[in-house]
């Protein structure tokens, strides 16, 4: 996991690249061996002896959708905390470490009481901003000073990044993690002869984690939120749009959490969260690579089997999204090119209609799809267009949109998108066009089997969403989609009352698009625009060089379709590095 500032976004570059290779059609069978340990932890194994490495991961079946108001962002915070070490990794003096952590908790408890008084004053109108230091009581300022001294004491005995260093010394690479709405996953690739090291390291941080630097890391996540959301052209608007789209669903809040919740999460709340969602019965181990399952299973039992089963089961999400009664619309002025973003409520992962919706998305999207041909090449009202079905664990959405060409408006792009969807409602897709989409799905089947990591990611995502067997079972379901199915789902889901629309117009006084974005597709532009703000705000040359090295390493490993995005990020990091070093 990348743990500080905007660097955390780069885990999503690799994740998005692997997901691009993870096409919905899966014609070939991946030989997965499934076992369950006595404590309820599941183990998925895929033997591949093409390269002398093992890609290992574990998935905690918890994401932001498992949170509640007041605790939003805690799932992502745990992604950070799981790298803080154990009694033997990450500290020079474990006993002293525990003393300091206990002292920090005593101070924080008193600080929480003072913060409650501050919130009461805010509600009365006695203070105008909870974040202003001058609005804090003198006692709160004293406690904060005392707490900062304890943080400094702890730093003197910490061994920073020791978890990463143990792995790197052993020849491992690519240690990272990600949090989504539905899962949190941790992964790395190790030499084949270091599989037992992986078993020990990963079981140790699950069995005996030490959440040192909890409050300091909480502040790091808050800063990450500021850089990822509040400092990007569309971050705040997209967050508001998604909150507007979901009325009741726990997808209503962002993965990184609301800004009011992050500073209030306590270690006691984190401990309770961990006990529920990081229990063995809520975790799946995944191994792909050069090993024998008959050897790996006893190792898993030896190391992970020592973790006691959790005292309680992780609860299901029981709040379902009610039918939307009317269209929702948002108009925003932003420092971006004019564009439209449309969301429709659809279905969750594994739903029988999800396959036809995925096929419909492919019919509309890509450079050979109907939206590009109709809006970019045909009427020329747009410069970029996109469409995708996003099937999550508890619910789903379909997203389409595009960027208006100079001289045209987002509303023109919006109406042109509706016109293409109406065609799908009125007439069945010709057999040749439908078969072409299915053939494209089939072609990607070979790309996803090229190495351990893409297979690992497919298993991570499918298991995290609820059923790892989709890696093998989805293929015939996509092949079975008919033109009548596509027409039916278009009519059922693409209605006016079922959608939300965001119109973005350029904020007065702002310029046009960065010409370096011209080589990127719509999805890549979104990712690039989100990250370039964080690159420009970075002031640490060392961090920039580290991330530049990561991007250059990824350029050699990822597919050609992802390369333009990485080239763009590489250029922007080099430009920012030059700015810093010439000051």
Helix or strand or coil: residue 299?
helix
Closest to 327 in 3D by CA, of 500, 187, 467, 197: 500
Largest CA distance in the chain: 74
pLDDT in tens, 13-72: 444 444 444 444 335 789 999 999 999 999 999 999 999 999 999 999 999 999 999 999
Bridge partners, 330 (sequence order): 502
Half-sphere exposure of 489 (CA within 13 A, CB side): 24
Write down the mean pLDDT value for the chain.
89
- Is the domain covering 31-80+167-315 a CATH 3.20.20.150 domain? no
Residue 85: both structure tokens together: 């070490």
Half-sphere exposure of 293 (CA within 13 A, CB side): 14
In sequence order, the 6+-apart residues with CB closer than 8 A to the CB of 172 are 188, 189, 190, 191, 194, 197, 198
Q: Report the predicted TM-score, pTM, of the whole model to 2 decimal places.
A: 0.83
Domain ranges within the chain, ordered by starting residue: 31-80+167-315, 92-157, 328-506, 520-581
pLDDT in tens, 503-526: 999 988 766 567 777 778 777 877
- Cβ neighbours around 290 below 10 Å, total: 18
pLDDT at 116: 93
Residue 541 has pLDDT above 90, yes or no: no
In sequence order, the 6+-apart residues with CB closer than 8 A to the CB of 210 are 84, 85, 86, 87, 90, 91, 94, 97, 101
What CA–CA distance (Å, rounded) separates 432 from 439?
10
Task: Select 328-506's CATH number: 3.90.550.10, 3.30.830.10, 3.40.640.10, 1.10.275.10.
Answer: 3.30.830.10
Residue 570 has pLDDT above 70, yes or no: yes
Q: Is the dihedral of CA 78, 84, 87, 93 positive or negative?
A: negative
Rg (C-alpha) for the chain, rounded Å, is 25
Rounded mean pLDDT, 277-291: 98
Whether 31-80+167-315 shares its CATH topology with 328-506 is answered yes
H or E, element range at 272 = helix 267-277
pLDDT at 449: 72
pLDDT in tens, 218-250: 888 888 888 888 888 899 999 999 999 999 999
Closest to 81 in 3D by CA, of 233, 273, 238, 249: 273
Bridge partners, 34 (sequence order): 44
Rounded mean pLDDT, 364-383: 95
Question: pLDDT > 90: what percent of the chain?
Answer: 71
- Cβ neighbours around 416 below 10 Å, total: 21
């Amino acid at each position: 996991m990348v743990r500080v500032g905007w660097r955390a976004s780069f885990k999503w570059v690799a994740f998005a690249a692997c997901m691009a290779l993870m096409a919905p059609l899966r014609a070939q069978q991946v030989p997965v061996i499934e076992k369950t340990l006595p404590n309820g932890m599941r183990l998925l194994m895929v033997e591949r002896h093409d390269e002398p490495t093992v890609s290992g991961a574990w998935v905690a079946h918890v994401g932001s959708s498992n949170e509640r108001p007041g605790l939003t962002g805690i799932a992502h915070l745990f992604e950070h905390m799981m790298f803080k070490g154990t009694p033997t990794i990450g500290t020079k003096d474990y006993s002293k470490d525990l003393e300091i952590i206990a002292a920090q908790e005593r101070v924080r408890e008193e600080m929480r009481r003072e913060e409650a008084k501050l919130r009461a004053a805010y509600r009365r109108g006695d203070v105008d901003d909870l974040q202003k230091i001058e609005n804090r009581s003198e006692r709160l300022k004293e406690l904060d000073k005392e707490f900062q001294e304890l943080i400094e004491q702890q730093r003197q005995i910490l061994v920073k990044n020791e978890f990463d260093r143990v792995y790197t010394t052993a020849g491992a690479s690519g240690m990272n993690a990600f949090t989504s709405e539905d899962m949190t996953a941790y992964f790395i690739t190790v030499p084949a002869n270091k599989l037992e090291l992986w078993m020990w390291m990963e079981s140790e941080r699950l069995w005996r984690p030490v959440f040192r630097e909890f409050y300091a890391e909480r502040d790091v996540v808050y800063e990450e939120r500021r850089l990822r959301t509040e400092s990007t052209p569309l971050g705040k608007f997209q967050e508001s749009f998604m909150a507007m789209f979901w009325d009741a669903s726990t997808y209503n809040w962002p993965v990184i959490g609301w800004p009011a919740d992050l500073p209030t999460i306590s270690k006691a709340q984190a401990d309770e969260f961990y006990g529920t969602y990081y229990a063995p019965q809520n975790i799946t181990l995944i191994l792909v690579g050069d090993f024998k399952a008959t050897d790996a299973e006893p190792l898993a039992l030896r190391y992970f089997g020592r973790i006691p089963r959790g005292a309680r089961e992780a609860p299901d999400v029981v709040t379902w999204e009610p039918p939307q009664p009317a269209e929702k619309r948002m108009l925003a002025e932003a420092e971006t090119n004019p564009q439209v973003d449309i969301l429709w409520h659809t279905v969750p992962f594994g739903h029988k209609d999800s396959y036809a919706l995925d096929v419909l998305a492919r019919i509309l999207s890509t450079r050979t799809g109907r939206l590009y041909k109709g809006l970019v090449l045909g009427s020329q009202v747009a410069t970029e267009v996109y469409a995708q079905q996003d099937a999550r664990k508890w619910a789903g959405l379909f997203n389409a949109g595009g960027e208006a060409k100079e001289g045209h408006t987002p509303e023109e792009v919006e109406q042109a998108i509706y016109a293409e969807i109406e065609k799908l409602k009125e007439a069945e897709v010709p057999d040749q066009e439908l078969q072409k989409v299915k053939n494209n799905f089939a072609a990607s089947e070979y790309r996803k089997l090229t190495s351990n990591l893409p297979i690992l990611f497919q298993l991570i995502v499918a298991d995290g969403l609820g059923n790892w067997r989709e890696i093998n079972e989805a293929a015939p379901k996509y092949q079975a989609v008919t033109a009548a199915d596509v027409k039916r789902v278009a009519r059922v889901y693409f209605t006016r009352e079922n959608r939300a629309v965001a119109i973005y117009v350029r904020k007065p006084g702002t310029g046009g698009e960065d010409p370096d974005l011209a080589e990127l597709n719509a999805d890549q532009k979104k990712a690039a625009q989100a990250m370039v703000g964080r690159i420009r705000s970075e002031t640490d040359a060392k961090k920039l060089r580290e991330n530049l090295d990561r991007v250059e390493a990824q350029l050699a490993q990822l597919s050609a379709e992802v390369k333009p995005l990485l080239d763009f990020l590489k250029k922007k990091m080099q430009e920012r590095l030059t700015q810093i070093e010439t000051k």
